[in-house]
Amino acid sequence: MQKIDWDEMFKYTGDPFVDAGGFVLQELMECYPDADIMTLIMMVTDIYVKLWDAKINTLFLNSKITQPAFKSERKKEEVRRYFESLLDETLSYRIGCCRIMGNNTKLFPVGRDLSVLTGSGTFVNFHHAFQEGIMLSKEAIIRYYFLPLGCELLQGKIAVICSNNPKISEWYARDCCSRVLAEVGQNVSTGVLKSSAHSLGTAVFRYLDSVLARYTEDNGMGDSVALYHLTNFGASPEVQIYTLPFQAFRFYQRTQSSRFRERWNIFVASHYFNSDYKKAKYDDEKNVFCVENKKDNIYIDEEKFKYWRNAIYDKLLKGASILGDIRKWSVHHFFDVDLLNLYLVNLQNMKRETIAKLDEISNYILESTSESGMKKVITTLSGTKSAYVLRRFIIGTIRKYYNEGHDQPLVTVEEYVDYLFPDSSSWMEIRDVLLISIYQKLHERNLHIEVDMDDFDDEQIEYES
């Protein structure tokens, strides 16, 4: 007799792998409402064994399914026997608290053959009190078994996207399952779903696009997203976790508003890269990449290049600054100042007073400097490689303003210490924001100052104080 706690079967646990498996099970139950749990288990077993040729080693190591000595029918029979015994509770068990679900119930030992990154049952000293494996409820074990349909294969490893918002985690796992079922229906499913993305950053942001399409205006204020990139294969199982915090999530949501979307997407598009098209150049007017050949040019549209690696997405996912990229883009393109301010305040934690003061300084520089003088200003700022040189430049601007006889100072001592060069700020951020502000004002005035940017290092170094 099958004994299942259905509340536990679908409870949100916070474990990305068990939750993904549970969401897959929900999707399957909706697709096949007349099937019982054992029928669904054998249905996915058929997929793993027949269609995927038992290639789930990256998830379940040395399982009945991946055992090379077993033929297909033997593999399925072993799975059937195990889960029927699990459901009937004829396997040996202990009473205690499930390590994942947290409920007090009958627990069964599980190793890497039916779970992810839990250690092998062979090495009992890995587990608490020399137990045979991680002790889980049957509901957790069953949910684990459906995980392969709720994840993707990305750069040779398994990728699972989850969130502090259960709906985002659910949408991801269900979408993966739905796509797998579609491939099964077309008889083209050969393994874990392959991600279209060429990098982790692109995978996360392409998924965010589908999330935002489901959002209403007020959604997403505190949502964050994490990508688990792992392998459970062989002697070196590993996982890397990439987290996009709610500030970055919220910022990206704002970039996709009707006000900012077009300019942001063009800026981001210019940073795509594909090693197969190293000579591809982005045309921001046509929104295509062009590869020039002797015979015919190749044009690659957004539907294809939006899955390439993207430097901006990779940096946002890693929490790295994109100010240097915005500065370089601003030389020849307009970057929305309000969008820049959103980025600075929410992701770089820059004070609004700092932004306002730099805007004031850039205004004065443009109003008081000739076109030939502006070339010297931009050359000096762009070539600044130390906090000392930047401070001397700003002090020189303050001195010039004072010598002109203005009643109020351009920068007070308090503003200089608290807003321009506080201990928590990076001088490179100050330099870049000042340069961006100058470039944007030049664009607004339709002025172009010719400066040979090749004279400066195209460094990609971390911002430091």
Q: b/e map of 302-338 (b: 16 or more CB within 10 Å)?
A: eeebbbbbbbbbbbbbeebbbbbbbbbbbbebebbee
Total Cβ atoms within 10 A of residue 85:
14
**What pLDDT was estimated at residue 2?**
65
- List, for residues 243-281, the tens digit of each pLDDT value: 999 999 999 999 999 999 999 999 999 999 999 998 899
At residue 465 the predicted structure's pLDDT band, cuts being 50, 70 and 90, is very low
Does the structure show a pLDDT above 60 at 70? yes
Q: What is the 3-state secondary structure (H, E, C) of 199-215?
A: CHHHHHHHHHHHHHHHC
- Residue 326 · residue 431 · CB < 8 Å: no
- List, for residues 311-347, the tens digit of each pLDDT value: 999 999 999 999 999 999 999 999 999 999 999 999 9
Calculate the average pLDDT of the chain: 90
**What pLDDT was estimated at residue 367?**
93
Tokens of 417: 């210490």
Does the structure show a pLDDT above 60 at 129? no
* CA contacts within 13 A on the Cβ side of 93: 19
Does the structure show a pLDDT above 60 at 459? no
Of residues 464 and 64, more confidence is placed in 64
The angle formed by the CA atoms of residues 190, 160 and 254, to the nearest 5 degrees, is: 120
Query: How far apart (Å, rounded) are the C-alpha atoms in residues 421 and 361?
Result: 14
The angle formed by the CA atoms of residues 164, 170 and 172, to the nearest 5 degrees, is: 100
- List, for residues 356-390, the tens digit of each pLDDT value: 999 999 999 999 998 889 999 999 999 999 999 99
Percent of the chain with pLDDT over 70: 92
**What pLDDT was estimated at residue 449?**
81
| Identity at 119, one-letter amino acid code | G
Dihedral of alpha carbons 312, 376, 447, 439, sign: positive
With CA atoms as reference, report the closest residue to 345 among 218, 225, 247: 247
With CA atoms as reference, report the closest residue to 225 among 212, 244, 248, 201: 244
Burial class (CB in 10 A: 0-12, 13-18, 19+), 24: buried
Burial class (CB in 10 A: 0-12, 13-18, 19+), 125: exposed
Query: How far apart (Å, rounded) are the C-alpha atoms in residues 121 and 133?
Result: 5
Does the structure show a pLDDT above 50 at 464? no
Q: Which long-range contacts (CB under 8 A, 24 or more apart) does 420-424 make?
A: 420/354, 420/357, 420/358, 420/394, 421/387, 421/391, 422/351, 423/465, 424/349, 424/465
Angle of helix 200-214 relative to helix 311-318, nearest 10 degrees, comes to 80
**What pLDDT was estimated at residue 121?**
52
At residue 119 the predicted structure's pLDDT band, cuts being 50, 70 and 90, is low
- Residue 242 · residue 161 · CB < 8 Å: no
Query: DSSP label at 450?
Result: -
**What pLDDT was estimated at residue 128?**
53
Query: How far apart (Å, rounded) are the C-alpha atoms in residues 17 and 116?
Result: 8
Query: How far apart (Å, rounded) are the C-alpha atoms in residues 355 and 362?
Result: 11
Does the structure show a pLDDT above 70 at 463? no
Query: How far apart (Å, rounded) are the C-alpha atoms in residues 193 and 180?
Result: 6
Does the structure show a pLDDT above 90 at 396? yes
Does the structure show a pLDDT above 90 at 50? yes
Does the structure show a pLDDT above 90 at 63? no
* 52: CB partners within 8 A, 6+ apart: 148, 189, 190, 191, 192
Query: How far apart (Å, rounded) are the C-alpha atoms in residues 150 and 30?
Result: 15
Low-confidence winner among 102-116, 145-159, 180-194, 431-445 (lowest mean pLDDT): 102-116
With CA atoms as reference, report the closest residue to 51 among 140, 176, 181: 181
- Phi and psi, residue 152, nearest 5°: -130, 160
- Phi and psi, residue 94, nearest 5°: -130, 155
Query: How far apart (Å, rounded) are the C-alpha atoms in residues 191 and 217?
Result: 37
Tokens of 372: 């030939």
Which residue(s) pair with 135 in the sheet? 109
Per-residue pLDDT, averaged over 410-438, amounts to 93
The angle formed by the CA atoms of residues 21, 247 and 267, to the nearest 5 degrees, is: 100
Per-residue pLDDT, averaged over 397-409, amounts to 94
- Residue 307 · residue 415 · CB < 8 Å: no
**What pLDDT was estimated at residue 365?**
95
DSSP character string of 331-397: TTS---HHHHHHHHHHTS---HHHHHHHHHHHHHHHHH--HHHHHHHHHHHHT--SHHHHHHHHHHH
Cα–Cα separations (whole angstroms), residue 378 to 76, 184, 382, 452: 70, 59, 6, 10
**What pLDDT was estimated at residue 294?**
77
Per-residue pLDDT, averaged over 95-123, amounts to 83
Does the structure show a pLDDT above 50 at 124? no
- Phi and psi, residue 311, nearest 5°: -65, -35
Tokens of 120: 């092998």
- Residue 309 · residue 289 · CB < 8 Å: no
**What pLDDT was estimated at residue 371?**
85
